[in-house]
Amino acid sequence: MIFRNDLLLRVARGEEVPRTPVWLMRQAGRVLPEYRAVREKAGSFIHLVKTPELAAEVTVQPVDIFGVDAAIIFSDILVIPEAMGLPYEMAEATGPRFPAVVRTQRDVELLRVADGSELKYVTDAIALVKKVLNGRVPLIGFAGAPFTLLAYMVEGKGSKTFSVAKQFLYTNPTAAHALLEKITASTLNYLSAQVEAGADIVQIFDSWAGILGPDMYREFSLRYLTVLCREIKRRFKIPVILFPKDAHFVRSEITETGCDVMSMDWTMDIAETRAMTGDRITLQGNADPCLLYASEERIVEGVVEMLRAYGPHRHIANLGHGLYPDIEKSKVKLFVDAVKDFRFQGRTG
């Protein structure tokens, strides 16, 4: 497909571009009154996710309203556990919850490997979004990292420590690896289906990477991320973004997974990370979402500081995590516009 704006894809591939591209995690969400209206019409978050027409509508909203350089399909990382036979619930105040959990080898054996057909509502939404965008900007597909999904499936809910999930890794590593293998196979099928439906680039969210130490992360996460990245690249040759939140220790090793982009949280030092990764990978991020609570002047200053720290090459502007729901819509637009308005002297592309 020929895009009117392909900045994101070009930077992900390491090409020179005239300005830094920008999109935001959770850009299609509660910060937008337009999203909240669709969410109310849907009746529940899960119904919104599973209704392609509504999911497509909220996916495109940030492109129309904020002018971001990419759309990201509206969905949830927990659709994979559900497709494997472990349904989830979503409460507005407390977040996700699994009525049943995985704690034994037998529990793992009862789960199936999802082939992607169970998630047709996501691929149907992708097809609808591609028609509406009509080449304006690329569409990002996504999935949760195998370890992050394991954490929810074993713990049964969100947690600050995920101590139950970590106990599972220490006390039953054979079952843990069996579960991770099933999740990885399911996720590969799912991401493949997204690309076949029209996703131009994919991001893998390892939201709970930081709760593991280096050795545990290498054993229970990085090896499966490497399988996903290399196989997606082999099958489709599209860019892959990894987001290992809070996992400072893994930054140099991420370059060996086969991914094209590493997304950074706001606690990662930009210069240090660039030194660790060199020119081998594009970096994404990493403004603190709380910057958007600041004055308009401070937001613009923060954007300029971030862009200068990364420099003119191999950077996708984003936040270090998702938008918070009480951030003002106008502040989000200001952030996006500030990135788009900035130019490095002598930049070409």
Q: What is the pLDDT of residue 347?
A: 72
Q: Tell whether the model's pLDDT for residue 293 goes beyond 80.
A: yes
Q: Which amino acid is at 242?
A: L
pLDDT tens, 90-115? Answer: 987 778 999 999 999 999 999 999 99
Q: Tell whether the model's pLDDT for residue 292 goes beyond 90.
A: yes
What residues act catalytically?
Answer: 26, 30, 39, 76, 152
Q: Tell whether the model's pLDDT for residue 36 goes beyond 90.
A: yes
Q: Tell whether the model's pLDDT for residue 39 goes beyond 80.
A: yes
> Mean pLDDT across the chain, nearest whole number?
96
pLDDT tens, 166-192? Answer: 999 999 999 999 999 999 999 999 999
Tell me the average pLDDT across 330-335.
98
Q: Can you give the pTM of this predicted structure?
A: 0.97
The three state secondary structure string of 179-193 is HHHHHHHHHHHHHHH
Tell me the average pLDDT across 232-256.
96
Could you tell me the pLDDT band of residue 196, with boundaries at 50, 70 and 90?
very high
d(CA 29, CA 322): 10
Closest Cα to residue 194, out of 203, 185, 206, 182? 203
Residue for token digits 């500081």? 305
Give whole-number Cα distances, 142 to 12, 177, 193, 194, in Å: 15, 22, 11, 8
Q: What is the pLDDT of residue 17?
A: 96
pLDDT tens, 50-91? Answer: 999 999 999 999 999 999 999 999 999 999 999 999 999 998
d(CA 334, CA 337): 5
